[in-house]
Amino acid sequence: MKNKKKSEGKIKSKDKCGCAVSCESEEIIKGFSHQGKQYVIPLLQKVQEQDGYISEETMDLVSEKLGVPVSQVYAITTFYSYFRLQPIGKHLVRPCRGTACHVKGSKRIIEKIKEHLDLKGDIDTTADNQFTVAPVACLGTCGLAPVMMIGNNVYGNLNEENAGKIIDRLKS
C-alpha cells in the first residue's frame, strides 16, 4: 500500500489536493505516534470524520505511526461497519430506516432512491461520485417521517416521487 493523501457538511470525501489521506488527517495521525493499539479505533474515527472514509494509505500511516501491524488496522476497519473503506460522493444522502419512517414506507423509498441513482446491489456511490446513499437508523425528526438528510438539510414527508425530485435538484 502506498502512503498518501482526500463533503457534505462536516464530512469530507476528498482532500483539496486529491490525496487519499488529507493533510489534516496526517497531522492527527502523527499526533498519536507510538500510542499503541488501544488508540487505533478513536484515531480511525477522527480520520473518517475528517476524510469521510479510511483509505489504504490511511491504514498504512496509522500502522506506521502507532506501531501496530497493518493487518490489525485492516481487521478493525473491516470488522466495524461504521468504517467506510470507499470515498463518499459530493452529496451524502441519508434516508432514515428507523421505525417511524419504516412504518411509513421508507424501505420502498430507499429502494426508489437507489434505483433513481442507478445504484445496484451493495454499491452506494454513483459512478460520477456525486451521490452516496447511506441509510441511517433515526434522524431524530420522526414527526416528519419518512425523512432523509442530504448534507445538513432535512427533507420530510417523503414519498417515492418527491425523493427523486429532491435529488434531481442537486444534480450538477
Question: Within 10 A of 21 (CB to CB), how many other CB atoms are there?
Answer: 26
Q: Which of 17, 16, 82 is nearest to 53 (CA)?
A: 82
Instruction: Output the smallest distance, CB 98 to ligand FES, in A.
Output: 3
Stretch that binds ligand FES, among 55-63, 94-102, 109-117, 163-171 (CB under 6 A): 94-102
Backbone angles phi, psi at 54, to 5 degrees: -110, 115
Q: Amino acid identity of 78?
A: T
Residue 165 burial (10 A CB sphere; 0-12, 13-18, 19+): exposed
Question: Within 10 A of 20 (CB to CB), how many other CB atoms are there?
Answer: 23
101 lies in the site for ligand FES, by CB under 6 A: yes
Taking CB under 6 A as the criterion, the residue among 147, 149, 150, 158 binding ligand FES is 147
Stretch that binds ligand FES, among 7-15, 45-53, 58-66, 96-104 (CB under 6 A): 96-104
| Count of residues touching ligand FES (by CB under 6 A) | 11
Taking CB under 6 A as the criterion, the residue among 96, 113, 117, 163 binding ligand FES is 96
**DSSP single-letter state for residue 154:** E
Instruction: Output the smallest distance, CB 14 to ligand FES, in A.
Output: 29
Which residues make up the interface to ligand FES (CB under 6 A)? 96, 98-101, 138-139, 141-142, 145, 147
